[in-house]
Amino acid sequence: MHASAYEVLASAASGTLSSFWLLIVIPAASGGILLLLGRRADRWGHLLGCASVGVAFVLGLVYFFQLGGLPATDRRATLDLFTFIQVAALKVDFGLLFDPLSAVFVLLITGVGFLIHVYAVGYMADDPKRRTFFAYFNIFVAAMLLLVLGNNYVMLYIGWEGVGLASYLLISFWYTRPSAATAGKKAFIMNRVGDAGLAIAIFVMFANLHTVSYDGVFANVDRFTSGTTLALGLLLLIGACGKSGQFPLQAWLPDAMEGPTPVSALIHAATMVTAGVYLIARSNPIFDANPTAQAVVAAVGAVTLLIGCIIGCAKDDIKRVLAWSTVSQIGYMFLGVGLGGGAYALAIIHLLAHGFFKAGLFLGAGSVMHAMNDQVDIRRFGGLWKYMKITWITFGVGWLAIIGIPPLSGFFSKEPIIAEAFDRPGWAGWVLGFAALLGAGLTAFYMTRLFVLTFHGPERWTDDIKHPHESPPVMTVPLMLLAIGSAAAGALMATPVQDWLNPTVFGVEGGEVPEHVHLSHTVVTILSIAITVLGGLLGWWLFRNGTSLQEQPAGPVVTAARKNLYGDTVNETVFEKPGTYLTRALVYFDNKGIDGLVNGLAAAVGGGSGRLRRAQTGFVRSYALSMLGGALLVAVAFLVVRLG
């Protein structure tokens, strides 16, 4: 542990690095231009959209090497552009931070993002709203970059909600479909639940320290009580769970597949959903200070990775399978950041590798859907390898990478996390380790099922499909590049990425080899390869001859998995239904109760005077009588006062 080891380094950006704010501004400006110009930009909008991200990627590379050129101890650059909010003790700068952690994210976001942008040019070619799509895409990239480049939690929060907005707009991009509109709304609201947690975490930091900057908070972590760090850790975890689709806020992510496939690839696989991992990795001094919070993060990761795997096995929709596999893979990353220490870097490496192979898989799925008239049911695919060779090969690389076959990237990034899980002392090590190992087997099973059912076995196509065709080069070239990335990302373990991240960001000294508590590293490696191969073979053997075309009745486990382990049902019965009833009851109460009181008062006055005016009969003699009565009353009162 290295609590309170955080040192604030003098780090004002200089030279080339002082312009790294351009990374955010360029895509944001492009998105703004595309939205403001409207239809006038229809013809060239997608080109501008791609170019802006491409430029950002090139700039990112330049800054990356600039940063690498600095000595390891002060490898970070901060930039305070202007004062954002200043009220008494609160001072929030519009400040950015470029350090090794942000740098790798910048490269992932702009690099993979650029490829997906290019792919989308082809994928969205026939959509009349392609320009709008690229505008939203650019806004997403800008917000995501702000998220990872901010130097305080408020900047992160702005980016955080910005990507949520982009995600909402893009999920419900085909808004005429009610399911897409509903999915977008669901994503935004469940994200907001997480956002509320993050917001409260920021308030806790301010109340305790009167600062919300990373440096200010991390340097003073030892001033927090352990209760405060636990609260902070859990609140940040809620935020991370919302954004990353982790238990218990996982339900929105599979529904998010209603959006166009490039959206699923970029936002809901490669970048945005990993923001939760970034948040926890970035806040590592807080988590390191509280082992309980770390344990909760690891537990959430383990539970989610199993949930994702189990549901992934039961789904027949190609994008949903991939979505649940994303949930599960991010579970591995959470497990990694929850383990702390050297595992932070492992989680980040898994995140990068996942960015490549999951983006490739999603884009491959999009290519398949393109060929199959936008169908997504893997029961109606089969035998496609003959017709779309490039998609087949690239998808195959992604498949082998995600299940962790050496020497592809998934093996190098996932297996160390499993090993680290086993290294945790006590029974927790066994539980986390076996959960991770079981997840690896299940992943191999359902991904093989997906691959075999889609590309091999008999052709089970619907009648309207005659000749599936390969996608145009604008789509296949990004596929190939991503496949190369998926294959090669494992090399990140060999390069000094760990050494690059560990000292500056995570405060872990290089060469620190953890003690193996339960199983030696070699045993874990053999076990994980064995279980992966076993799962893969099982998947191939069961589905080599295709599957039935309709959904078959199944036992309770499979039924539960098909129904997303009743996650939606729980949400519906615990929140939606009571919420609806509460709303209706309150509307009734407001109209009849509060407004009823107001209107009742008015009615009482009106009704009372209505009664009273009946006394005005118009008959002179009744007036005379009442006058006489009044006079008598006065007289009597007078006498009583006088005599009594």
Partner 1 sequence: MEPGYYVVLAAVLFTIGAVGVLIRRNAIVLFMCIELMLNAGNLALVTFSRINGTLDGQIMAFFVMVVAAAEVVIGLAIIMSIFRTRRSASVDDANLLKY
Partner 2 sequence: MSDAGFPYLSLLTGLPLLGALVVALLPRTRPALAKQVALAWSIAVLGLALATWFAFEPNGDRFQLRESYPWIPTWDARFTFAIDGIALVMIALIAVLVPLVIIYSWDEVREETGTPAKRSVHAYFALLLALQSTMIGVFAAADIFLFYVFFEVMLVPMYFLIGSYGGARRQYAAVKFFLYSLVGGLLMLAAVIGLWVLGGHTFDWQRLTEADFSQGAERWLFLGFFIAFAIKAPFFPFHTWLPDAGGAAPAGAAALLVGVLDKVGTFGILRYCLPLFPNASKYFAPLGIALALVGIIYAALLAVGQNDLKRLVSYTSVAHFGFIGVGIFAFTTQAGSGAVLYMVNHGLATGLLFLVVGMFVSRRGSALVGDFGGAGKTVPVLSGVFIVAGLASLSLPGTAPFVSEFLVLLGTFSVYKTVAVVATLGIILGAAYVLWMIQRTTHGTPNPQMAKVRGMRRDLSWRESIVVGPLIALLVFFGFYPKPLLDVINPAVAYTLHDIKKEDPAPSAQEAGK
**If residue 169 lies in a helix (H) or strand (E), which one and from where to where?**
helix 153-171
Contact flag: residue 86 with partner 2 (CB under 8 A): yes
- The binding track of 232-261 with respect to partner 1, each residue x by CB under 8 A or -, is ------------------------------
Contact flag: residue 620 with partner 1 (CB under 8 A): yes
Q: Among residues 109, 141, 167, 195, which is the contact residue for partner 2, using CB under 8 A?
A: 195
Count other C-beta atoms under 10 Å from residue 10's C-beta.
Answer: 7
3-state SS of 418-458? HHHHHCCCCHHHHHHHHHHHHHHHHHHHHHHHHHHHHHCCC
Contact flag: residue 210 with partner 2 (CB under 8 A): yes
Stretch that binds partner 1, among 16-24, 250-258, 381-389, 616-624 (CB under 8 A): 616-624
Buried b (16+ CB within 10 A) or exposed e, 445-480: bbbbbbbbbbbbbeebbeeeeeebebbeeebbebbb
Q: Among residues 90, 526, 554, 625, which is the contact residue for partner 1, using CB under 8 A?
A: 625
In this structure, the dihedral spanned by the alpha carbons of residues 31, 34, 37 and 43, taken in order and rounded to 10 degrees, is: 170
Residues paired with residue 77 on neighbouring β-strands, in sequence order: 98
Q: Among residues 511, 619, 643, 644, which is the contact residue for partner 1, using CB under 8 A?
A: 619
Rounded distance between C-alpha atoms, residue 253 and residue 191, angstroms: 10
In angstroms, the Cα distances linking 188 to 170, 193, 255, 330, 439 are 11, 9, 12, 19, 28
The angle formed by the CA atoms of residues 624, 629 and 630, to the nearest 5 degrees, is 95
- 618 contact choice in partner 1, partner 2, none (CB below 5 to 8 Å, kind-dependent): partner 1
With CB under 8 A as the rule, give the number of residues binding partner 2.
Answer: 62
- 613 contact choice in partner 2, partner 1, none (CB below 5 to 8 Å, kind-dependent): partner 1
Q: Which is nearer to partner 2, 196 or 428 (CB)?
A: 196
Q: Which is nearer to partner 1, 1 or 628 (CB)?
A: 628
With CA atoms as reference, report the closest residue to 479 among 123, 169, 81. Answer: 123
Contact flag: residue 161 with partner 2 (CB under 8 A): yes
What is the DSSP secondary-structure string of 200-253? HHHHHHHHHHS--BHHHHHTTGGGS-HHHHHHHHHHHHHHHHHHHT-TTS-THH
- The binding track of 220-259 with respect to partner 2, each residue x by CB under 8 A or -, is x-xxxx--x-------------------------------
What is the DSSP secondary-structure string of 106-127? HHHHHHHHHHHHHHHHHHTTT-
Stretch that binds partner 1, among 20-28, 203-211, 333-341, 610-618 (CB under 8 A): 610-618
Q: Which is nearer to partner 1, 178 or 630 (CB)?
A: 630
For residue 78, give the 3-state DSSP assignment: strand
Contact flag: residue 598 with partner 2 (CB under 8 A): yes
- 609 contact choice in partner 2, partner 1, none (CB below 5 to 8 Å, kind-dependent): none
Contact flag: residue 600 with partner 2 (CB under 8 A): no
Least separation in angstroms between residue 610's CB and partner 1 is 10
Q: Among residues 178, 407, 458, 606, which is the contact residue for partner 2, using CB under 8 A?
A: 178
Distance of CA 412 to the CA centre of its chain: 24
Contact flag: residue 616 with partner 1 (CB under 8 A): yes
Contact flag: residue 642 with partner 1 (CB under 8 A): no
For residue 561, give the 3-state DSSP assignment: helix
If you ran DSSP here, which 8-state letter would residue 554 be given? Answer: -
Rounded to 5 degrees, what are φ and ψ at 92? -115, 120
Contact flag: residue 609 with partner 1 (CB under 8 A): no
The alpha-carbon radius of gyration of the chain (Å, integer) is 31
Q: Which is nearer to partner 2, 187 or 561 (CB)?
A: 187
Q: Which is nearer to partner 1, 549 or 627 (CB)?
A: 627
Residue ranges of the alpha helices (H) in 316-404? 318-339, 343-371, 389-403
- 614 contact choice in partner 2, partner 1, none (CB below 5 to 8 Å, kind-dependent): partner 1
Which of the residues 561 through 590 are near partner 2 (CB under 8 A)? 579, 582-584, 586-587, 590
Contact flag: residue 153 with partner 2 (CB under 8 A): no
**If residue 307 lies in a helix (H) or strand (E), which one and from where to where?**
helix 291-314
Distance of CA 604 to the CA centre of its chain: 56
Residues in contact with partner 1 by the rule CB under 8 A: 613-614, 616-621, 624-625, 628
Residue numbers at the binding site for partner 2 (CB under 8 A): 35, 38, 82-90, 94, 154, 157-158, 160-162, 165, 168, 172, 175-176, 178, 180-182, 184-185, 188-189, 192-193, 195-196, 199-200, 202-204, 206-210, 220, 222-225, 228, 579, 582-584, 586-587, 590, 594-595, 598, 602
